[in-house]
Amino acid sequence: AVKTARHKHNASPALSSGASNSGESSKESSRCSTPLLDADRSDRLREKMRKRMESGDPWFSLEFFPPRTASGAVNLISRFDRMGSGGPLFIDITWHPAGDPGSNKETSSMMIASTAVNYCGLESVLHLTCSNQSQETITGYLTKAKQLGLKNIMALRGDPLGTDWEDEEEGFNYATDLVKHIRSEFDDYFDICVAGYPTGHPEAQSYAEDLQHLKEKVDAGADFIITQLFFRADTFLKFLRDCRAIGITVPILPGVFPIQGYQSLRQLVKLSKLEVPEEIMEVIEPIKDNDAAIRSYGIHQAVEMCRVLLDSGAVPGLHFYTLNREVATTEVLRQLGLWIEDPRRPLPWATSANPKRKVEDVRPIFWASRPKSYIYRTQDWDDFPNGRWGNSSSPAFGELNDYYLFYLKSKSSKDALLKMWGEELTSETSVFEVFTSYITAQVNRGGHKVMCLPWNDDALATETNLLKDELEKVNRRGVLTINSQPNINGKPSSDPIAGWGPAGGYVFQKAYLEFFTSSENVTALLKVLKKYEPRVNYHIVNVQGHNMTNAQDMQPNAVTWGIFPGREIVQPTVVDPVSFMYWKDEAFALWIEQWAKLYEDESPSRMIIKYIHDNYFLVNLVDNDFPLDSCLWQVLDDMFELLDAVFYFERPNQATFSYLFVFYVFLKDDSEEMLFR
């Protein structure tokens, strides 16, 4: 489902999900590489809604509830990435007082919403219920939400503790109180959503009284309304008319619930005290044991209802109760034509929705497949470098303790990883084979496909086939590639593969290749690279930090840029020598943390990975001559040729011995110095 747009090693979902911001993304800075992609205030959810309504462009939004387990969280976040790529205007995360929703647990509402904003780049609304909560507790939650970069709150009363409801003097009695509290304590910082009940709140004395309560919530400062679910378009449209009649003018979004199963429908109906219309029950009852049939009917029913809603011209967007499921909602959206199949990206990488990162306009290419790690390691930055990470004002990268963070956990189990990466490794060649299987998407010796690597938690994008043959060839010989991009010489910004940024522009790339390889290979490579000066820039480093580069004055090299109508140049990706040293730590550590630790201590398999970790070099290469075909494959061919010559002459005979000697001198003369200067 994910359409990646670059020849990266994986179809990083986050890369695509950034698209959810497309057309909405707001960039602001006084710096050259950060053109104001949009005006300042357009960043607010209510402003985004206003613009979409003005242009008659209906949106959709998606509701999720927090998961129960850590692995459920990992899956949900993958779902955010995938569903985010369809272009929701926002998602919202429900709040369950019994589930410790404001804690730092990886499964809390607060943390899930924060992850959606910060790591998935999704505009998010955090639910918050106020009943039985002190003002201090609520203020604490809101303060924390603000600190985490959350900007929108769905203000709800929540259920009473007991069966009877008693007004509290000090606390909150109604959602209106919560709306007032948010506005009085946080001024206009948050955009506030409130709930509407198309058939009246179950506890309300009358439909009319409930409408008045809704008006009070809006008058107290709510910016828009999402309704409880309903089963007939008429129900909503009448409610909408009634709201407008009493002077409610804010956007009102219908809550759509695609029926996904008999049990879930019954449970929801019970909880919400709604009645399912006769005509629906008549269809469902006969097929209640046929899940597929019910789901299919649910999709059909939702699509029909949504079409009526949209055709009314009175509905600016649709809100979906997903129940954390993907298929039904996605299918409804596809049939409605609201799912964005090829979303435009404001930048080549997924922008974060945290307002603090609004000015972020450039990232090192190294984290292209691990954007969440980059965001995590730079989360404490108050300022973002605009190209170079070397000056004293740049803050340090966060510590390398993020392998354990739930949103960086592999989606695969230890067992699955062992099947992919080998139950038992016998030599470095076993490792080469793992990389090669990953690149070719063919099964390994054990008959398993290698779907991920420690540096790429997703399968190689099918779009990467352009580079596949070359990548396979070099990986087979121990050039273990973990990141690459082809050169691009001015493709339209609308290009489905390479495009990003505003319409009418042109995007460019320099060819990039990053890999681990042995010190023998590096020695030969350094010889070869002399021929490619100054066309090819390189950085070569081992785990100890011994560093070789031909970058002048440690300057960064722009490797992705775009030219747009009426704008300054945008330069979102660089190869930066300083941040490479921080990436190096992470890239090497992944060998141990994600791979070696799969095996017993002291086991041969573990020792092999440890050997590679200790002895290999991490290499990145940039071909600066972007208008020409990339020379990086030729560089590696030359390196192999040089190595082949050594190999050939290691079986000496009279005729070749002296040549071998010359070659040996040639290869070794300054290698010590070159490797460890």
Q: Which is nearer to a second copy, 226 or 575 (CB)?
A: 575
Q: Which is nearer to a second copy, 35 or 254 (CB)?
A: 35
| Residue 537 in contact with a second copy, rule: CB under 8 A | yes
Q: Which is nearer to a second copy, 481 or 537 (CB)?
A: 537
Which ranges constitute the DSSP H helices of 313-453?
327-336, 371-377, 414-421, 428-440
Determine the interface stretch with a second copy among 160-168, 371-379, 530-538, 600-608 (rule: CB under 8 A). Answer: 530-538
CA separation for the pair 445, 198 (Å, rounded): 60
Task: Tell how strand 536-542 and strand 617-623 pair up.
Answer: antiparallel
| Residue 393 in contact with a second copy, rule: CB under 8 A | yes
- Residues β-bridged to residue 516: 480, 618
- Within 571-590, which residues bind a second copy (CB under 8 A)? 571, 574
| Residue 503 in contact with a second copy, rule: CB under 8 A | yes
Among all chains, which residue has been given the structure tokens 């303060």? 143
Q: Which of 135, 173, 494, 624 binds a second copy (CB under 8 A)?
A: 624
Q: Is 372 exposed, middle or buried (0-12, 13-18, 19+ CB in 10 A)?
A: buried
Q: Which of 552, 648, 658, 668 binds a second copy (CB under 8 A)?
A: 552
Single out the residue of 468, 422, 416, 563 nearest to residue 35, CA to CA.
Answer: 563
CB atoms within 10 A of CB 504: 13
| Residue 100 in contact with a second copy, rule: CB under 8 A | no
Q: Which of 140, 545, 565, 604 binds a second copy (CB under 8 A)?
A: 565
| Residue 25 in contact with a second copy, rule: CB under 8 A | no
| Residue 246 in contact with a second copy, rule: CB under 8 A | no
Q: Which of 215, 625, 637, 675 binds a second copy (CB under 8 A)?
A: 625
Determine the interface stretch with a second copy among 35-43, 174-182, 326-334, 642-650 (rule: CB under 8 A). Answer: 35-43
CA separation for the pair 648, 671 (Å, rounded): 20
| Residue 501 in contact with a second copy, rule: CB under 8 A | no
CA separation for the pair 1, 327 (Å, rounded): 11
Q: Which of 35, 101, 121, 255 binds a second copy (CB under 8 A)?
A: 35
CB-CB contact of 260 with 295 (8 Å): yes
CA separation for the pair 106, 377 (Å, rounded): 17
- Minimum Å gap between C-beta 553 and a second copy is 5
- Minimum Å gap between C-beta 549 and a second copy is 9
Q: How many CA atoms lie within 13 A of 468 on its CB side?
A: 15
Q: Which of 215, 448, 567, 610 binds a second copy (CB under 8 A)?
A: 567
CA separation for the pair 59, 42 (Å, rounded): 16
Query: Starting from the edge strand earliest in sequence, which strands make up the sheet with 511-517, in order?
Result: 480-485, 511-517, 617-623, 536-542, 547-549
Q: Which is nearer to a second copy, 40 or 672 (CB)?
A: 40
DSSP 3-state of 8: coil
Give the binding-site size for a second copy (rule: CB under 8 A): 46
Determine the interface stretch with a second copy among 156-164, 201-209, 313-321, 383-391 (rule: CB under 8 A). Answer: 383-391
Q: Which of 28, 47, 54, 63 is catalytic?
A: 63
Q: Which of 337, 504, 545, 604 binds a second copy (CB under 8 A)?
A: 504
- Residues β-bridged to residue 193: 154, 224
Single out the residue of 31, 443, 329 nearest to residue 451, CA to CA.
Answer: 443
Residues 6+ positions from 304 with CB-CB distance below 8 Å: none
Q: Which of 278, 553, 601, 673 binds a second copy (CB under 8 A)?
A: 553
| Residue 512 in contact with a second copy, rule: CB under 8 A | no
| Paired tokens of 241 | 């008319």
Q: Which is nearer to a second copy, 391 or 654 (CB)?
A: 391
Binding mask 475-494 for a second copy (x = CB under 8 A): --------------xx----
- Minimum Å gap between C-beta 624 and a second copy is 4
| Residue 348 in contact with a second copy, rule: CB under 8 A | no
Residues 6+ positions from 81 with CB-CB distance below 8 Å: 2, 13, 14, 16, 17, 120
Angle at CA of residue 114, ends 109 and 118, nearest 5°:
160
Reading phi first (left if > 0) and then psi (alpha if -120 to 50, else beta), residue 305 is in: alpha
Write out the H or E segment, with its range, that includes residue 585: helix 577-590
| Residue 568 in contact with a second copy, rule: CB under 8 A | yes
Q: Which of 535, 578, 610, 674 binds a second copy (CB under 8 A)?
A: 535
Is 63 an active-site residue? yes
Q: Distance from first CA to last CA of the chain, Å, rounded?
A: 47
Q: Which of 56, 247, 447, 534 binds a second copy (CB under 8 A)?
A: 534
CB-CB contact of 437 with 449 (8 Å): yes
Determine the interface stretch with a second copy among 47-55, 427-435, 505-513, 589-597 (rule: CB under 8 A). Answer: 505-513
**Which residues contact a second copy by CB under 8 A?**
30-33, 35-36, 39, 362, 386-388, 391, 393, 489-490, 503-506, 508, 534-535, 537, 550-553, 555-558, 561, 563-569, 571, 574, 622, 624-627
Catalytic (active-site) positions: 63
